[in-house]
Amino acid sequence: MSIILQTERLLLREILDTDLEGMFALDNNPNVHRYLGKNPILTIDKSQEYINNIREQYVAHGIGRYAVILKETNQFIGWCGIKYITEPENGHVNFHEIGYRFIEDYWGKGYGYESAKAWLDYGFNTMNIKTIYASAHIDNKGSRHILGKLGMQTKNEFEWNKIPCIWFELENKTI
């Protein structure tokens, strides 16, 4: 059964093949990829591969990145969600990471925080995850601000694919 979450302004649902155009608009923009290794997607086929990969994670781990839809207009504005990471990163492996990415037109409206808060609560209260992790480019003020506002603690600086990053963690106090 697929997960659907709702916030005041947003619907969070599985990413579908019908989101292809939105996913390409998102990842084709160099500004979106400024702190993600400066490697925007150049072909729609790559976006389809990306969607396929996300959908495989739902099957493999029961969770992953989810589409963020504006309730008012039913528009796809980006993604947010908890990914189960199986590759080593900053000395961790097999852990849950929260992340998000939005189409530039929708930045600065609180959607990043609103969607991430919903997923953090879901991860702790419904999935009973012990610790949720996140990382951001050290200069990515927007992302760092969201993670701080969520109450996540900064741990250390590290390099990921040559990108200087900050590592964040938050423990589930209820388990």
Ligand X SMILES: CC(C)(COP(=O)(O)OP(=O)(O)OC[C@H]1O[C@@H](n2cnc3c(N)ncnc32)[C@H](O)[C@@H]1OP(=O)(O)O)[C@@H](O)C(=O)NCCC(=O)NCCS
In total, the chain counts a number of residues equal to 175
Residue 151 CB, shortest distance to ligand X, in Å, is 13
Selected from 24, 50, 95, 102, the binder of ligand X by CB under 6 A is 102
| DSSP code per residue over 61-117 | HS--EEEEEETTTTEEEEEEEEEEE-S-BTTB-SEEEEEEEE-GGGTTSSHHHHHHH
CB 75 within 8 A of CB 111: no
Among residues 134, 140, 138, 143, the alpha carbon closest in space to that of 113 is found at: 143
Among residues 14, 133, 116, the alpha carbon closest in space to that of 64 is found at: 14
Q: Which is nearer to ligand X, 128 or 131 (CB)?
A: 131
Selected from 28, 57, 61, 107, the binder of ligand X by CB under 6 A is 107
Residue 42 CB, shortest distance to ligand X, in Å, is 17
Q: Which is nearer to ligand X, 21 or 128 (CB)?
A: 21
Q: Which is nearer to ligand X, 100 or 167 (CB)?
A: 100
Q: Which is nearer to ligand X, 108 or 128 (CB)?
A: 108
Q: Hey, which residues between 138 and 157 contact ligand X (CB under 6 A)?
A: 140-143, 145-146, 149
Stretch of residues binding ligand X (CB under 6 A), selected from 15-23, 44-52, 59-67, 104-112: 104-112
66 binds ligand X (CB under 6 A): no
Q: List strands edge to edge, sheet with 5-6.
A: 5-6, 10-14, 65-70, 75-85, 95-102, 131-137, 163-171, 153-160
Q: Under the rule (CB under 6 A), what is the footprint of ligand X?
A: 32, 35-36, 100-102, 107-113, 136, 140-143, 145-146, 149
